[in-house]
Structure 1
Amino acid sequence: MATPKTLRTCKQGHQYYKSSDCPTCPICEKLKEPASGFLTLLSNPARNALLYYGIDTIEKLAEHTEKEILALHGIGKASLPAFKKALEEAGLNFKIN
């Protein structure tokens, strides 16, 4: 049986329905999505992980090894193809150990 959804209001005043205890407002999350750049290719958890660590440009991503990026909470192997494609398009690569 599905958990009933309850009406909630976030700090920004957005109203939304949610069935879990997660406090994340889906409207705020949608507004945070970048309009362009490599971050648009990523899931919210992956994008948030990079932004938390100040990795907001493809050049900053290239300063890290693949292993360092995969060690970040929120980043999984599914993100690697998007990272590699974006790096390649910019003429960059992950840092070598």
Structure 2
Amino acid sequence: MYTVSYDPEDDFLLGVIAVPARKALKKEKINSLEKLSDYSEKEILQLHGFGKNAMMKLRDHMKEHQMCFKEA
């Protein structure tokens, strides 16, 4: 029997963006769409692990949840 420690923050954006981008958000303590909406797209793209593809997926995901990035 294996014991697995479960961290619900690790599930944030699971299946939406790749692991490097998710780790970049976790490093910045961004663990909800509400916190993410406090950042501009430009600020997020500057994080190590984020690229245009991850940003496109993230933008679409936020739009589906009636959220958006702050204006630059």
Q: Shared fold by TM > 0.5?
A: yes
Higher helix share: 2
TM-score under structure 1 normalisation?
A: 0.60
- 2:49 paired with 1:49: no
Shift of residue 46 of structure 1?
0.4
Aligned to 2:68: 93
Shift of residue 45 of structure 1?
0.4
- Which structure's CA Rg is the greater one? 1
- 2:40 paired with 1:65: yes
Task: Please provide the CA RMSD for this pair.
Answer: 1.6
How many residues in Structure 1 have an aligned counterpart in Structure 2? 63
Shift of residue 33 of structure 1?
5.1
Gaps of 5+ in 2: 1-8
Would the aligned equivalents of 1:62 and 1:92 in 2 still touch at CA under 8 Å?
A: yes
Query: Aligned match of 1:83 in 32, 35, 58?
Result: 58
Shift of residue 90 of structure 1?
1.5
TM-score under structure 2 normalisation?
A: 0.78
CA distance in 1, matches of 2:71, 2:24: 21
The structure with higher relative contact order (CA 8 Å, sep 6+) is 2
Shift of residue 88 of structure 1?
0.6
